[in-house]
């Protein structure tokens, strides 16, 4: 039992009992974000350190390990020039360090959920000939290659110093595929080409903070760190929100928030919802249906013409997207809602939004598959559809960064399968070895060149041997790819897409 004499306050840290994925007890370290005085006993809202915020929850005192309680540290205060108390004065060294850390955080795209690496038999069968290189820029010399290994173990390459030139592997290098008739392994050579002026080493640049749910950590206070909606009823599903969403405050105290599954209007009671349904004539999202195959349909919604629906969609999406905060100006965005049809209507499965005009070639601003439909292939279908639109538009695209942990997993999986599908389908012509460039891969798939290169690095295919860049498709990678494609039953059929891109630059204010 918790000791009532111990005063657990906001900011304290201590181990908290929870169940893991195997339904076993564990005591991870957690931070107290809020304390609620309920009649009879207190409740504590905790955030598990190094865990995703969607696992945050209210706990009872008996789940707290008070023996290891850590009280919040008080920051040292020093007088300022005006004689008033304040934080200690900063030093030039601390300012430089803080600036470097902020830049590092701004440019990282990491997953909160650990991402398993794809196994490769190249590390085992060809380790002595082709040293493995993971998540590193392209190497140009043997000296740089030796910097990558310590006792034969690959390590991350230290970034180049300012003023030091490093020759990147250009995007027009010829990729030659040598097929081995006695094995399913393939070796792809990346031949050095002209110096590329663009930064195509797979390192993400600092993300531009725009989107229908624009990322803005300046509002990341104690209120937005806590879930404020207990439950949402959407059609035949009841959803437990993962994160904060700025619904009207008077609705956050309700046990259940009711949403119309067709127009996404929110109401405070089931009776209000039933009364609304007698007036709501929608049985599908507003906008144009631009794709239908079987029971799957996609609707294109203009954020200016259907502002109420778009804002309600963003409110719902914010419940399951942590790295975004709500952005009410939906005019510059298009929303593509995927639905599943049954006799009662078109039920929302997920959506993605994109800017009408993007100077950075973003083809997705926010993307979400609702929890009841996750792990069923719908997320990858949304991603595939976004690239099909890019193909029709005749351009390459990339999602806005940073990606959520689940979004990063989905995109990495899609990029890997799409690129491996291209490489494995290459065939020789006139008896010559098949060849393809990174630019051609990008043009065929509409995946931006930087994403193509970073995916090859993530798959650990890029190696360096005798002054050449090579890619090795091992038998294990080929088998793993074929098994993954057999499970991928949902695919976009371009013949079912009826989409005409618009030139928004000539439409004034859209």
Q: How far apart are CA 49 and CA 53, in angstroms?
A: 9
Q: What's the CATH architecture for 13-68?
A: Roll (2.30)
- What's the confidence (pLDDT) of residue 93? 47
**Sign of torsion, CA 13 14 18 20?**
positive
pLDDT at residue number 37: 83
d(CA 60, CA 66): 12
Distances (CA, A) of 90 to 76, 86, 97, 100, 288: 13, 11, 11, 15, 56
Q: For domain 217-400+491-506, give the CATH number.
A: 3.40.630.30
Predicted local distance difference test score (pLDDT) of residue 140: 31
Q: Is 178 left (phi over 0), alpha (psi -120 to 50) or beta?
A: beta
**Structure confidence at residue 493 (pLDDT):** 95
- Residue 6: the pLDDT is 62
What is the pTM (predicted TM-score) of this model? 0.71
SS (H, E, C) 258-314: EECCCCCCEECCHHHHHHHHCCCCCCCCCCEEEEEECCEEEEEEECCCCHHHHHHHH
pLDDT of residue 211: 55
SS (H, E, C) 173-227: CEEEEEECCCCCCEEEEECCCCCCCCCCCCCCCCCCCCCCCCCCHHHCCCCCCCC
Which of 486, 477, 470, 490 lies closest to 419 in space, CA to CA?
Answer: 477
- Note whether 453 and 202 are within 8 A (CB): yes
pLDDT of residue 221: 65
CB 334 within 8 A of CB 354: yes
Please give the pLDDT value at position 190: 52
Position 8 scores a pLDDT of: 87
Phi, psi (degrees; rounded to nearest 5) at 145: -65, -40
CATH 3.40.630.30 boundaries in the chain: 217-400+491-506
Active site members? 400
Q: Which residues of the chain have pLDDT under 70?
A: 1-6, 75-222, 324-328, 428, 430-434, 465-466, 468-469, 507-510
């Amino acid at each position: 039992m918790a000791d009532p004499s111990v005063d657990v306050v906001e900011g304290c840290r201590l181990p908290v009992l929870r169940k893991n994925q195997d339904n076993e007890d564990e005591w991870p370290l957690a931070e107290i974000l809020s304390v609620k005085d309920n009649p009879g006993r207190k409740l504590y809202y905790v955030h598990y350190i190094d865990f995703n915020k969607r696992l945050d929850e209210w706990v009872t005192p008996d789940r707290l390990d008070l023996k290891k309680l850590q009280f919040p540290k008080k920051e040292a205060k020093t007088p300022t020039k005006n004689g008033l108390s304040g934080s200690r004065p900063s030093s030039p060294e601390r300012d430089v360090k803080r600036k470097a850390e902020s830049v590092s955080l701004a440019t990282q795209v990491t997953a909160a959920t650990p991402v398993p690496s794809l196994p490769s038999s190249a590390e085992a069968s060809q380790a002595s000939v082709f040293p493995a290189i993971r998540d590193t820029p392209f190497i140009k010399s043997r000296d740089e290659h030796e910097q990558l290994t310590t006792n034969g173990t690959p390590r991350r390459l230290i970034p180049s110093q300012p003023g030091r030139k490093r020759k990147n592997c250009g995007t027009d290098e010829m990729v030659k595929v040598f097929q081995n008739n006695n094995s399913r392994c393939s070796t792809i050579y990346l031949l050095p080409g002209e110096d590329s002026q663009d930064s195509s080493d797979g390192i993400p640049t600092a993300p531009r903070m725009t989107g229908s749910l624009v990322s803005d950590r300046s509002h990341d206070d104690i209120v937005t760190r806590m879930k404020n909606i207990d439950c949402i009823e959407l059609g035949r599903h009841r959803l437990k929100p993962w994160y904060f969403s700025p619904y009207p405050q008077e609705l956050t105290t309700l046990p259940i928030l009711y949403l119309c599954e067709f127009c996404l209007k929110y109401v405070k009671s089931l009776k209000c919802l039933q009364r609304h349904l007698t007036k709501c004539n929608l049985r599908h999202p507003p906008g144009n249906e631009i794709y239908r195959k079987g029971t799957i349909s996609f609707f294109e919604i203009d954020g200016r013409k259907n502002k109420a629906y778009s804002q309600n969609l963003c409110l719902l999406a914010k419940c399951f997207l942590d790295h975004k905060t709500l952005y009410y100006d939906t005019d510059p965005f298009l929303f593509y809602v995927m639905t599943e049809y049954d006799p009662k209507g078109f039920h929302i499965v997920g959506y993605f939004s994109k800017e009408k005009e993007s100077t950075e070639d973003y083809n997705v601003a926010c993307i979400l598959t609702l929890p009841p439909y996750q792990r069923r292939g719908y997320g990858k279908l949304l991603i595939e559809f976004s690239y099909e639109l890019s193909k029709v538009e005749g351009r390459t695209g990339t999602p806005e960064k940073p990606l959520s942990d689940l979004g990063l997993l989905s995109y990495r999986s899609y990029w890997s399968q799409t690129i491996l599908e291209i490489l494995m389908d290459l065939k020789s012509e006139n008896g010559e070895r098949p060849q393809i460039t990174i630019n051609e891969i990008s043009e065929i798939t509409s995946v931006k060149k930087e994403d193509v290169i970073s995916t090859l690095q993530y798959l650990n295919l890029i190696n360096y041997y005798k002054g050449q860049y090579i890619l090795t498709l091992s038998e294990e990678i080929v088998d793993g790819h074929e098994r993954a494609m057999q499970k991928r039953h949902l695919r976009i059929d371009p013949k079912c897409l009826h989409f005409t891109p618009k030139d928004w630059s000539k439409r004034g204010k859209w």
